[in-house]
Structure 1
């Protein structure tokens, strides 16, 4: 088995979790854009943007996470690096979204942490 095939097998779990997390993120974005009145920011929240703007942030991060998750199935190092960046961006976006939708944010933050851990520990063959 080639080194690329071994790396691809080690990245199946984080790739799948990134696609699932990206889907959750995209659906949150669509819900915030379509039904912004459902989500409300607490008074005095430091990152108080328009809810539709937060929706666009979540939708964009989610769509990119899905695309990078699919690319991660190839096992290429560039896809792995992009996946780490996207999972980190998703984690930060959901941390900032935490006061608006705490339950959903905690679930996605946990999923992103698992993806980052899986990507960081799925090392390839080292000499």
Structure 2
């Protein structure tokens, strides 16, 4: 499939290219702390929204938490938006560095958060 082959080769190059635009002087402790605060706010907001307004009727608490955890995986969109805003001069170097760190951290957190929240499946495991 042409699309999947393109994604396999081009997506990592885009991430790397975008990451190279981070000014090393802007990646300071305040920008890392700002990123961590944004991650905490993002996790609470997404899980809270899915818990209060579930996307389907009849979802139990663990299922809602699982969906909220999966919403964390937004790295590509965040990086695209931050790159466009930065190239247009609409956000500072500090904000760009913070958003890039936020994108990486929130994407990395998706798997572990989902494994913690996912409903446990009973029965035999598939071979």
TM-score between the two structures when normalised by the length of structure 2: 0.36
Structure in which a larger fraction of residues adopt helix: 1
Q: Which has the larger radius of gyration?
A: 2
